[in-house]
Amino acid sequence: MRPTASILVLFALGCTEYDLSRPDKEDPTPVDTSPPEPTVAPDIVVTPTSLEFGVILRECPSEPQTVTVENVGDAELIVGSVSLQGSGSSAFRLDGQPINLQPNESFTFDVTFTPTAWTRFEVDVVVVSNDPDEPEVAVGLMGDGGEDQTFEDTFVQEYFDEVDVLWVVDNSGSMSSAIAQVQNNFSHFIGQFLDLGLDYHIGVVTTDMDNPAMQGQLQGPATYIDASNPDPEAAFLVAVDQGSNGSGSERGFEATRAALTEPLISGHNAGFLRESAALATIVVSDEDDDSNILPSNFASWYNGLKSDPSTVTFSAICGDPGFTGCLDPFGTGVTATPGNLYVDAVDRTGGIWQSICTANFDTALRHLSVTAAGMSYEFSLTRTPSSLATMVVTVNGTEVPYALNDGWIYNSDNNSVVFDGEAIPDPGAEIVVTYPVSGECL
C-alpha cells in the first residue's frame, strides 16, 4: 500500500479593484456605403398585345396585321425566336425575321389568318428573348373561320349649300292628276331645303315648245322662287299650275335647253342660273320625250353646264321604263308610256327616276329633294350580301332599324341600302353598312 500525504494551502484575502472591460476587435474590412451600380439590361415591349381577325371566309387569307417588337432597355436585346403556339397554329402565318435589337431599336412582322375550318381559332405568337423580366412575351391571335365573310362599307352624307332647281312639267291634257300629286306633296320637297337652310332658286317651265308664251320661259308671278320668299310652297303651287291645254308633243329636253341657254338665260330667265350653285332639273311627264335630241347628246350638253359634272343632276317622274309603261293609279284609265329616253338621260347625269304611276308622291318628292340637294338616300354596296339576317346599318354609330318607313331596306336590283323618311342621314353623317358575303376570296 502506497503512503499518502496532505498539503495545506493558505490564501491571503484583500480588497483589490480590477477593470474588466475588453477592447473591441478591429474589423480589417471597411464597410462600403456608396449606392450600387445601376443594372444594365434589355427591356422588351411587344405591341399590340392581341390581334382579332374577325370572321374570314374559309380557305381565304385575311389582310395582314402587324406586330412590333421594341427594345426600350439599356443593353442589347437578343431575340431567340418568334413562333406560333397552340392548337390551330397552322391557320396563321408569320412574315418577317427576328433580329437582335440595340437600345431604342425595333422590328416588325406581319401575321396573316387563313382559316381551315368553320370554327374559332385562338393561338399565341410567342417572342423569346434575353429580357431578364420577360423572357417570353405572348400575343394572342383570334379569328373565326366562316362560310360567310363580314364586309363593311362606309359612306359620308354630303350636300350642296346652293342649288338651282328647274321643274319641267307636262301641261298636256292627261297630266291633271299627276300635277295635283306634285302640288299636294310639295311640302316634302321644300321642307328638306328649309331644314338644311339651303340657298335655293326654284323655277318652273313646261314641256310645251309650241306656245310662244312657254318655250322654256320660267312661269309664275315671280320668275323664280328663292329663300327670301316668305311662303315658297304657296308660290310654287301657283307656278306649277299651268293647266292641261299644252302641246301634245312633250319636249322636255328642248324646254330644259331653252330655259338654260341664250337668249332666255340673260333675258326672261335672267338671275335664275348661278355659276356658283349646283343645278338640278326635274321633269314630270306621262309621255316620253319628243324632242329631236338624243339622250346622250342632251346629257353631254347638260353635264357641261358646270365645270364639275357632279354638281348637276337630271331627274324624272315618268312612266316606268321598258315596253309597257304603267297604269295611272287614280282611276282615270290613262296609261303612262315608258319613259325610256328620260331614264336614259337620268342615268347619264346622276339623277333618279320615280314612277308617275305611284299612288302617292310623298316618298318620290322626298327622294327628289334629297337628290337635288346633293344628298343621297340610296347607297350602293361594294359586295352582294349573302344574308340580310346579320346585316347591320348604323348612322353616326346608332343602329337604324330595318323598316320600310323611317328605316332602311335592301334593294336587290341595285344592290343598295335605301333609307326612308326620318332615317335619311343628315349632312355630314357617317353611314356604315356591315354585312356577310360569300363566294371567292377578296
Does residue 241 share a domain with residue 129?
A: no
The verdict on residue 20 lying in a domain is no
CATH number at residue 208: 3.40.50.410
What's the pLDDT band for 26 if we cut at 50, 70, 90?
low
What is the pLDDT averaged over residues 83-108? 95
Closest to 304 (Cα-Cα) out of 370, 239, 348:
348
What's the pLDDT band for 31 if we cut at 50, 70, 90?
low
Report the range of poorest mean pLDDT among 99-108, 157-166, 309-318, 362-371: 362-371
The verdict on residue 399 lying in a domain is yes
Does residue 207 share a domain with residue 186?
A: yes
Q: Mind listing the pLDDT tens digit for each residue in 118-132?
A: 889 999 999 999 999
* C-alpha to C-alpha distance for 341 and 60, rounded to whole angstroms: 45
Burial of 266 (0-12, 13-18, 19+ CB in 10 A): exposed
Report the range of poorest mean pLDDT among 190-204, 323-337, 345-359: 323-337
User: Would you state the pLDDT for residue 10?
Assistant: 43
Does residue 392 share a domain with residue 369?
A: no
Name residue, grid cell 319628243.
290
Does residue 229 share a domain with residue 82?
A: no
State yes or no: pLDDT of 228 exceeds 50. yes
* C-alpha to C-alpha distance for 372 and 188, rounded to whole angstroms: 13
- Helix, strand, or coil (residue 5): coil
Does residue 93 share a domain with residue 137?
A: yes
State yes or no: pLDDT of 28 exceeds 90. no
State yes or no: pLDDT of 86 exceeds 70. yes
Provide the grid cell at 58: 374559309
Pairing of strands 326-327, 335-336: antiparallel
CATH number at residue 77: 2.60.40.10
Does residue 408 share a domain with residue 363?
A: no
Q: Mind listing the pLDDT tens digit for each residue in 278-317?
A: 999 999 998 999 999 999 999 999 999 999 999 999 999 9
Examine residue 263 and say whether the peptide bond preceding it is cis (omega within 30 degrees of 0): yes
Report the range of poorest mean pLDDT among 77-91, 231-245, 301-315: 231-245
Q: Tell me the residue type at 408.
A: W
What is the pLDDT averaged over residues 353-380? 89
Q: Which one of 376, 392, 426 terminates a domain?
A: 376
Report the range of poorest mean pLDDT among 10-24, 82-96, 108-122, 287-301: 10-24
What's the pLDDT band for 398 if we cut at 50, 70, 90?
very high
More reliable by pLDDT, 92 or 326: 92
Mean pLDDT, the chain, rounded, equals 88
State yes or no: pLDDT of 16 exceeds 70. no
pTM above 0.75, yes or no: no
User: Would you state the pLDDT for residue 299?
Assistant: 97
- C-beta atoms surrounding 115 within 10 Å: 25
What's the pLDDT band for 416 if we cut at 50, 70, 90?
very high
Q: Which one of 376, 395, 427 terminates a domain?
A: 376
The verdict on residue 12 lying in a domain is no
What is the pLDDT averaged over residues 414-440? 90
Examine residue 48 and say whether the peptide bond preceding it is cis (omega within 30 degrees of 0): yes
The verdict on residue 182 lying in a domain is yes
Contact between 370 and 415 under an 8 Å Cβ cutoff? The reply is no
Does residue 389 share a domain with residue 416?
A: yes
User: Would you state the pLDDT for residue 55?
Assistant: 86
Q: Which one of 350, 376, 402 terminates a domain?
A: 376
Q: Mind listing the pLDDT tens digit for each residue in 154-170?
A: 999 999 999 999 999 99
Pairing of strands 278-284, 408-411: unpaired
What is the pLDDT averaged over residues 8-36? 54
What's the pLDDT band for 9 if we cut at 50, 70, 90?
very low
Number of compact structural domains in the chain: 3
The verdict on residue 335 lying in a domain is yes
pLDDT cut 90: percent of the chain above it: 64
| H or E element in which residue 55 lies | strand 50-57
More reliable by pLDDT, 158 or 28: 158
Burial of 375 (0-12, 13-18, 19+ CB in 10 A): buried
Is the sign of the CA dihedral 130, 136, 139, 143 positive or negative? Answer: positive
What is the pLDDT averaged over residues 389-404? 95
- Helix, strand, or coil (residue 369): helix
Crossing angle of the two packed helices 340-349 and 295-303, in degrees rounded to 10: 30
| H or E element in which residue 190 lies | helix 176-196
Contact between 137 and 94 under an 8 Å Cβ cutoff? The reply is no
| H or E element in which residue 366 lies | helix 362-372
Report the range of poorest mean pLDDT among 7-11, 125-129, 171-175, 386-390: 7-11
Q: Could you tell me the residue range of the domain that residue 132 belongs to?
A: 44-146
State yes or no: pLDDT of 13 exceeds 50. no
What's the pLDDT band for 36 if we cut at 50, 70, 90?
low
The verdict on residue 29 lying in a domain is no
Contact between 41 and 132 under an 8 Å Cβ cutoff? The reply is yes
The verdict on residue 1 lying in a domain is no
Does residue 116 share a domain with residue 80?
A: yes
User: Would you state the pLDDT for residue 360?
Assistant: 79
User: Would you state the pLDDT for residue 359?
Assistant: 80
Does residue 297 share a domain with residue 166?
A: yes
Does residue 403 share a domain with residue 334?
A: no
User: Would you state the pLDDT for residue 33?
Assistant: 67
Does residue 353 share a domain with residue 298?
A: yes
Q: Tell me the residue type at 246.
A: G
Residue 180 has φ and ψ, to the nearest 5°, of -60, -35
The verdict on residue 155 lying in a domain is no
* C-alpha to C-alpha distance for 411 and 421, rounded to whole angstroms: 16
Which own/partner pairs from 388-394 qualify as long-range (CB within 8 Å, at least 24 positions apart)?
388/435, 390/148, 390/435, 390/436, 391/433, 391/434, 391/435, 391/436, 392/433, 392/434, 392/435, 393/417, 393/431, 393/432, 393/433, 393/434, 394/431, 394/432, 394/434
Does residue 364 share a domain with residue 407?
A: no
User: Would you state the pLDDT for residue 184?
Assistant: 85
Provide the grid cell at 313: 343632276
Report the range of poorest mean pLDDT among 52-61, 132-141, 255-264: 52-61
Residue 57 has φ and ψ, to the nearest 5°, of -60, 135
Q: In angstroms, what CA-CA distances link 30 with 22, 25, 27, 35?
A: 22, 13, 7, 15
| H or E element in which residue 137 lies | strand 136-146
